[in-house]
Structure 1
Amino acid sequence: MSEASGPATATSTPPLLPDGELERSTVVANSTMNRERGLSGVNSYARELGFDPVDDLLARYASPSWLDLCSGEGRALREAAARLPATAVLTGVDLVGPLVPVPAPPMVELVTASVAGWTPRRSYDLITCVHGLHYVGDRLGLLSRAASWLGSRGVLVAHLDPGSVRHADGSPAGRPVLAALRSAGFTYDSRRHLLTLRGPLAVHLPFHYLGADPQAGPNWTGQPAVAAYYRPAP
């Protein structure tokens, strides 16, 4: 399967939702893709990312910071807190937030907010979005913003399905989107469907967001996902 898998010809464009309405759709609001994922093991961040986030942070920083976008219950951050120094900063942001009222360690902040409008008050050494972009409308806008949130030598890692990015007419936009991301400094691992950026960088992608379709059906994960529509920016 190619990096930009999808139909070869244009299709009719479905009704597109702005982010506010999209986040109230059942596909987005009730997503369980990342809610219970832990730090290590079979269903884990280490498995999905191909590296242990805590090992990576400790190898690079004495007092690290980690921002996890679309963090679900925040289980990975809670587990990371037990292995990191008390001066570490761990932040999770999720549209629904933790559904299980378990107290978080002092170094862990779990924010219930839309990643489409949330902005941090600090920079981070590691930013992750594990299978979260599948449910974000303007995922290119979020990637551009998150690139500026990286600290010195910071790393951004996020899953991206190029097949879920479309032109205004419904035809696949994966190839030009990946080309633009690479030109901006991202690398893409097609086997893991992972974008990586080392920053901080000012990222400007030449696309204008039009809206999203929450009824696009399953993506490569086999789970229902959201298709994002863009047109080239002038």
Structure 2
Amino acid sequence: MPNIIKAQTEEQFNDIGAGIIASLLQSNPKALLGLATGSTPVGVYKRLVELFNEGSVSFAQAQSYNLDEYVGLPADHPESYRRFMDDKLFSLVDILPENTHVPPGSDPDPQQAAAEYTKLLERAGRIDLQILGVGHNGHIGFNEPGEELEGFTHVVTLDESTRKANARFFNSIDEVPVQAITMGIASILHAKQILLMARGADKAEIIARALQGPVTTECPASLLQTHPNVIVLVDQEAGRLI
């Protein structure tokens, strides 16, 4: 059963999330971090930057591997996940640019890029801490619900509900990419520890389904029930059904 932590306030949510990551880096400065984007971890990354500025944590020897990236967006596009990570974390701490890895969504051959990212992860070894959010349909990374799931990094066609949910970051849904490169389920579950974070009343139902419902590929997040070391960090609204 996952270790479920219910934060009372947004500040506490961010403090706990950042504290888990900072504690790992303090005990293992060369940690391999699996990072996620989206609105949920923004405050956590902001708190990590504050801890770095206070001298409490360093990323100088760490390496990061992001979950996913849109296909077709250049790295400097305002909504690319590479740009997100640079703006929210990488450029604000002492992590070496060459130690930050995000799937190259602008690669002209995304299938080959995905295969190379799988090799990169294999060479790196086991991720020490994999950070995850969860989509309203239960996706983790961009592993969308379906009859079967890919194990390793692959190109995925985004579910229409995912594109609608992400349209708020673009001028219109027409600008939201149709495909993404994402780590597969096997790669995610290979991590030594997983931190699943969710905020807001709209995530309550899927969090309950992921943690208490049947383990099924129709809810990819439910596969986290099979992992021996999962921390679930939720606010009061997201955790109201668990």
- After TM superposition, the score normalised by the length of structure 2 is 0.40
| Bigger fraction of residues in strand | 1
